[in-house]
Amino acid sequence: MFPLLKYTEAEVAARLAKVSPDAVRGSLTKKRHDWFDLLNLISEAAQPFIPQMRQLAQAARRCYYGKTVSVYAPLYIGNTCVNSCRYCDFRSQHTGTVRRNLTLDEIRAEADAIRKTGVDSVLVVAGEDPKVNTVARLAEVGRLLKSIFSYLALEVAPQTEDGYGELLAAGYEGLTCFQETYDQNLYREMHPAGPKADYDWRLNTQLRAGRAGFRILGCAFLLGLGPWRREAASLAAHAFYLMRECYEAKVQFAFPRICRVDGGFTSLCEVDEGDLEQMMLAFRIVFPQCCMTVSTREPPAFRDRIVQTAADNMSAGSRVTPGGYAVLADNRKQHLAQFKLSDGRTPDEVYAAIRANGQEVVFKNWDNRI
């Protein structure tokens, strides 16, 4: 469990099992919600209330985000990695993945290809390779990309608070760091070697970035490792903690489900689409102001539906390969990819789907103070 939570795993499980329909109704009628409401809304007892949860989540979403959907693209700058995450094709031991780190010229080519689609926000992604992806290199990449995009976020190895200060100065404002699992024992099993084996260092990543001044702090667990209700209870506790400690920043949720990888890893716990929807609705109701992303790991129909009720932003035309937008020929992309995507639509097809549902595509929703 999230270490600062004062309830044990067994106590959380017992509370979830005891939730009654009346407790769910109570959580659905409250104006302000707490961690116990989150438990009520993710419980099995809440399943018959999904239609009401959809309505309430949609109303909460409209209060903060109107009918808009922000779009972004991930930009993979390299896939070398010293870690051994059992579920990832970028892990150091996996020989089936071709390794590559892009040069600055290649990164510019990728960025130009993304920008041509209209996308104005990028998430810079790289494997954890401290010799290659130093703070200095990430800052250099940031300065280059900031001349092309309005908003930059990072999904790279956790850094020190000073490192985040340098990256903020280079133009990054957002950070994503998946805890993968809040269960310390399972975490050890899934991350047997490399710097990522340090649970606490990873857990405090958002705190260090928030203290350095990052504006968006992305949190998630990997759906399919631990039982999802227990992990969701920890994620919510983590979010409440960050909202207290880094009150000037905004928490962003993502709910990535394990995708098939070439290395053969399969989910340890099933999370079906109904579970995923229930969880996303519950988080939107309890955290109406927070950002929420829907992953490209999900099929188009689900993504198009959930951006109307819970999520407020989504990627468009994603490539999970270094060089996937412009640098590589099509037949080489798959051997460098982190996972297999479920939504293979072009950016224009994603925008058309958003507009067909009466929503507006937003490319830029923030400007720095001058």
Footprint of ligand SF4 on this chain (CB under 6 A)?
A: 81, 83, 85, 88, 90-91, 127-128, 196
Whether the Cβ atoms of residue 232 and residue 279 lie closer than 8 Å to each other: yes
Find the shortest distance in angstroms from Cβ 91 to ligand SF4: 4
Residues 59, 283: contact at Cβ < 8 Å? no
**How far lies 71's CA from each of 190, 305, 320, 349, in Å?**
31, 15, 16, 13
Task: Provide the token pair at 220.
Answer: 């998630």
Two structure tokens written together for 20: 């009654």
Q: Measured from the CB of residue 168, what is the shortest distance to ligand SF4 in angstroms? A: 22
User: Would you say 84 or 342 has its CB closer to ligand SF4?
Assistant: 84
The minimum distance between CB 121 and ligand SF4, in angstroms, equals 21
Smallest distance from the beta carbon of 311 to ligand SF4, in angstroms?
Answer: 22
| Angle between helical axes of 9-18 and 228-245 (0-180°, round to 10) | 110
Please give the Cα distance from 294 to 228 (Å, whole number).
16
Nearer to ligand SF4, 46 or 235 (CB): 235
Q: Encoding tokens for residue 89?
A: 């094709």
The answer to whether 298 touches 343, Cβ cutoff 8 Å, is yes
CB of 86 to ligand SF4, least distance (A): 9
Run of H or E including 313: strand 313-315
Nearer to ligand SF4, 81 or 102 (CB): 81
- Closer to ligand SF4 at the Cβ: 302 or 339? 339
Give the bridge partners for 221, in sequence order: 180
At closest approach, how far in Å is the CB of 240 from ligand SF4? 26
Name the CA dihedral angle for 62, 35, 239, 180, rounded to a multiple of 10 degrees.
-110
Cβ neighbours of residue 98 closer than 8 Å, sequence gap 6 or more: 332, 335, 336
Any residues with CB less than 8 A from the CB of 159 and at least 6 apart, and which? 135, 167, 205, 208, 209
User: In the bound complex, what is the minimum distance in angstroms from residue 85's beta carbon to ligand SF4?
Assistant: 3
Please, what is the minimum distance in Å from the beta carbon of residue 351 to ligand SF4?
29
DSSP alpha helix (H) spans, the chain: 9-18, 21-29, 35-42, 50-65, 104-115, 135-146, 161-170, 184-190, 199-203, 205-212, 228-245, 273-286, 300-309, 330-333, 347-356
Residue 80: CB minimum distance to ligand SF4, A: 9
Number of H helices, E strands in the chain: 15, 9
Rounded distance, CA 297 to CA 318, Å?
10
Smallest distance from the beta carbon of 127 to ligand SF4, in angstroms? 4
